[in-house]
Chains A and B, each alone.
Chain A
Amino acid sequence: MNLQFIVDGLISGSLIGLGAIGITLTYSILRFSNFAHGDFMAWGAYGTLSVIAAIGALVGTTAPIGALSFGWPLIAATLIGMILTACLALLLDWLLFARLRDKGQSIIVVMASFGASMALRSLLEFIFTSSPTYFSRGIQMAIPIGLGIRITPDQMVMLATTVILVTAMHLFMSRSQTGREMRAYSQNPALARVVGIDTARVVRATWIIGAALACAAGVMVGILVQIRPLMGLDLLLPMFAAAILGGIGSVPGAVLGGLIIGLSEAAAVQLIGAEWRAAIAFAILMAVLLVRPMGLFGRAER
């Protein structure tokens, strides 16, 4: 049996997990399923691509770093892209979600996120067309690491970046005052106000973190696969499945959920057939909802 699916699964699982962090935070703190989250990934990737083009126009061509397919402009552009995506999320909240949230019906906010998702996607197709594009067209040689498994330098860096981002997120949520405030708000918004927490600040932090991580995941998808306006939509179901599997509100749960979905999908491709790939996230989601609705790390509150 070829074990290559483990690497493939870990990588797609990392990307799903990074995206699922934003979904789980939005769900537990702002109390709605944000279907536009996948589009933050796509906008993040296109935003980063545009910044790279701008950097290229300013400083000319730059050499890639070592054996990687990209150079420093991509790293700098990703950081700027994360800020831009966070601004996009804040703008969307200000224009749309905040106004509807105040009316107190979460289903309306969910429907609005559907609409926002379609609008954001169409806007990307309008600006960049629907044909795929790439950060780099170079072909990378995969390095054998034993047991018949091969991994490219890009993939190694993406896995390491995911580990760093997830660890940083976990420490932020458990150790920082803002992280504590976000957890407190997700458990009891009214009590959070009573203990002096500025809830508007918590909402802003949630959007900034979720959107920035979505951008990072979008850029990684762009590096490893390709950039398309539909890239986020394709990952939406696996991301929701990961967030629910991990337990809504749990950052480590979202990442573990992502890895389980990613590995299951990759295993399904190898063992059952590629046409079943998309069904796996859905099957796992259904099984979790039936057996353990609160997810792996979720707890029945109060």
Chain B
Amino acid sequence: MSILDVPILDVRGLIAGYEPGLSIVKGASIHADEKEIVVILGPNGAGKSSFIKAIAGLVPITGGEVLLDGKDITYGAAHLRVRQGLAFVPQTENIFPLMTVEENLRVAGGVLPRAEVQSRIDEAYTMFPDLARQRKLAAGSLSGGQRQMLAVGRALIVHPRVLMLDEPSAGLSPKFVEMVFTRLNEIRRAGLTIVLVEQNARAALAIGDRAYVLVEGREAHEGRAATLWDDPVVAELYLGQRRHA
């Protein structure tokens, strides 16, 4: 394999869980290439959320490896992964509610040279003009959609290589879901790799390049996002779970 073939994010046989001996992620592997949107689907309780949190460094890993750009970051602290270019947007509680919108962005700029912080914050405001208008407001007073924009804007402050999101559409109105996915597509075009855990399979597959189906802590199926929706194997894996229309 030539150096050019190394995926930007390569997760191999990951085993992770909150309690020792009680793994939730049981040997899952995925990879993501440059400028790719990779979607992780799966029935409830498949361990999707724990899987992405483990990659972000929030769930203890007991086996397997996580390589970012060929570099082993399996056991690195969560804050170091961010500095190495792996950003993560959690599903819930993904903003600091008692801090203003601007402080939420600024606090993520701690790893940047001081002179660059303001221009990165302005970039976030350009991408999400709503945030600029509400920069002085407590983030806790934002609507669900605005919180999601703030969380994504904050994750992008450090110019990561890979952006991981845990169910960015959860709890949002259809209008906001469409907006979030449109923005994610733009972010990918700008050069980022995106890894997405989603319940809203149809919307996610519409912008995704490749997708994995995670079942019982392992990846059970992989395919092109465009064809996965109609793949009979996927229907089988969801095992009686009704598909989201």
Q: Across the interface, do A177 and B110 meet the contact criterion of CB distance under 8 Å? A: yes
Q: Given A190-B58, A191-B90, A191-B94, are A196 and B99 neighbors across the interface (CB < 8 Å)?
A: no
Annotate B87-111 by CB proximity to A: 1 below 8 A, 0 otherwise. Answer: 0111001111111000100111111
Indicate whether A195 reaches chain B with its CB closer than 8 angstroms: yes
Indicate whether B215 reaches chain A with its CB closer than 8 angstroms: no
Instruction: For B98, give its contact among A183, A196, A198 (CB under 8 Å).
Output: A183
A302 to B93, CA, bound (A): 8
- Nearest B residue to A178, CB-CB: B110
Instruction: For A193, give its contact among B57, B94, B106 (CB under 8 Å).
Output: B57
Q: How far is the CB of A196 from chain B (nearest CB, A)?
A: 4
Q: Across the interface, do A199 and B98 meet the contact criterion of CB distance under 8 Å? A: no
Q: How far is the CB of B15 from chain A (nearest CB, A)?
A: 21
Q: Given A188-B93, A196-B82, are A302 and B88 neighbors across the interface (CB < 8 Å)?
A: no
Indicate whether B136 reaches chain A with its CB closer than 8 angstroms: no
- CB-contacts of A174-194 with B (<8 A): 177, 180-181, 183-184, 187-188, 190-191, 193-194
Annotate B133-148 by CB proximity to A: 1 below 8 A, 0 otherwise. Answer: 0000000100000000
A193 to B108, CA, bound (A): 10
Max chain A CB contacts within 10 Å: which of B78, B89, B103, B111? B78
Q: By the criterion of a CB under 8 Å from any partner CB, how many residues of chain B are at the interface?
A: 29
Indicate whether B71 reaches chain A with its CB closer than 8 angstroms: no
Q: Given A180-B106, A180-B107, are A194 and B99 neighbors across the interface (CB < 8 Å)?
A: no
Q: Across the interface, do A194 and B90 meet the contact criterion of CB distance under 8 Å? A: yes
Q: Across the interface, do A302 and B140 meet the contact criterion of CB distance under 8 Å? A: yes
Q: How far is the CB of B53 from chain A (nearest CB, A)?
A: 9
Q: By the criterion of a CB under 8 Å from any partner CB, how many residues of chain A are at the interface?
A: 19
Instruction: For B77, give its contact among A191, A193, A302 (CB under 8 Å).
Output: A193
Q: How far is the CB of B197 from chain A (nearest CB, A)?
A: 15
A42 to B24, CA, bound (A): 49
Indicate whether B14 reaches chain A with its CB closer than 8 angstroms: no
Indicate whether B154 reaches chain A with its CB closer than 8 angstroms: yes
A184 to B108, CA, bound (A): 10
Q: Given A197-B110, A198-B79, are A191 and B93 neighbors across the interface (CB < 8 Å)?
A: yes
Chain B hits for A198, CB < 8 A:
77, 79
Q: How far is the CB of A202 from chain B (nearest CB, A)?
A: 10
Indicate whether B25 reaches chain A with its CB closer than 8 angstroms: no
Indicate whether A99 reaches chain B with its CB closer than 8 angstroms: no
Chain A hits for B108, CB < 8 A:
195-196
Q: Across the interface, do A187 and B56 meet the contact criterion of CB distance under 8 Å? A: no
Q: Given A190-B58, A191-B90, A195-B154, are A301 and B97 neighbors across the interface (CB < 8 Å)?
A: yes
A183 to B90, CA, bound (A): 19
Indicate whether A292 reaches chain B with its CB closer than 8 angstroms: no
Q: How far is the CB of A281 from chain B (nearest CB, A)?
A: 27
A184 to B99, CA, bound (A): 8
Q: Across the interface, do B96 and A187 meet the contact criterion of CB distance under 8 Å? A: yes
- Nearest A residue to B164, CB-CB: A194
Q: Across the interface, do B94 and A180 meet the contact criterion of CB distance under 8 Å? A: no
Q: Given A190-B58, A301-B97, are A199 and B79 neighbors across the interface (CB < 8 Å)?
A: yes
Chain B hits for A196, CB < 8 A:
79, 82-83, 108, 110-111, 158
A180 to B100, CA, bound (A): 11
Q: Across the interface, do B110 and A187 meet the contact criterion of CB distance under 8 Å? A: no
Chain A hits for B158, CB < 8 A:
196
- A–B complex contacts, Cβ < 8 Å, 24 sampled: A177-B107, A180-B106, A180-B110, A183-B98, A184-B107, A187-B96, A187-B99, A188-B93, A193-B57, A193-B77, A194-B56, A194-B58, A194-B78, A194-B88, A194-B90, A195-B154, A195-B155, A196-B108, A197-B107, A198-B79, A199-B79, A299-B98, A301-B97, A302-B93
Chain A contacts to B: CB under 8 angstroms: 177, 180-181, 183-184, 187-188, 190-191, 193-199, 299, 301-302
The 3 A-B residue pairs with the shortest CB-CB distance, nearest first, are: A196-B82, A193-B78, A195-B108
Chain B contacts to A: CB under 8 angstroms: 56-58, 77-79, 82-83, 88-90, 93-99, 103, 106-111, 140, 154-155, 158
